[in-house]
Amino acid sequence: MTEVLTPPRIVVQALAPAWQAAAEQWAQRLGLPLGEGDADFALQLGDDGLQLLQLGPDSPGPVRVDFLEGSAAHRRQFGGGAGQMIAKAVGIQQGVRPHVLDATAGLGKDAFVLATLGCEMDLTERQPIIAALLEDGLARAAGDFEVGAIVARMRLLQGNSIERMTAWEGEAPQVIYLDPMFPHREKSALVKKEMRLFRPLVGDDLDAPALLEAALKLASHRVVVKRPRKAPIIEGGKPSYSLEGKSSRYDIYPLKSLKG
């Protein structure tokens, strides 16, 4: 469950006539009105893909998923490879590239890093608009010669993560990765543009303990939880150990040894 005080008003807009038909399809899929109207957010479709814009004078600007340029491209080329903390957290080592379920995918940034390193990724994102941005970003990246091979390892699954994990069919993911939205403090609420934009949509993840419980029941080898560095552990099981960075940490719940 997430805490959303007042549902924001969202409209879908085409930024050029050529995108009108596709914008109508998104509006129908998401059950949102099309056009201008009185709204808090606009989901816009244009030459650069699908983007979400908070309307009004304090807007942090549009957010879209872009695996081809910007921070994703920089991290892919210069991010440190298998030496990155997230890689160590999920158990990447010589000869080991685990199958990972990212059950709180968001904009897919962490999943893209792991896919770049060779992991097969399943992604779930329950907020429909964020899932739409992710779907659009994956579709645009699929046509790129180099990045297309990476996103081919990323499979987006729509729906509620807890429900999907509880009713999982087929071979269980070796590792389940969780990065739940943490209840914010006012002084840190505006740090990231995405966080500022998405918090009115998704609220705080108040069901993180249930998310962890479902993950521990499904994962075959380990569960990894990303948290702000000073945040308490998620209520429930206690991690065996943690990897700590400057602003965040990874709590590790090992179930079985990952071997090549």
Number of neighbours of residue 146 by Cβ within 10 angstroms: 10
Whether 24 has a binding-site annotation, put simply, is no
Contact status, residue 13 vs residue 44, Cβ threshold 8 Å: yes
Whether 179 has a binding-site annotation, put simply, is yes
Whether 102 has a binding-site annotation, put simply, is no
Q: Which residues are annotated as a binding site?
A: 125-126, 179
Q: Which residues are annotated as a binding site for S-adenosyl-L-methionine?
A: 125-126, 179
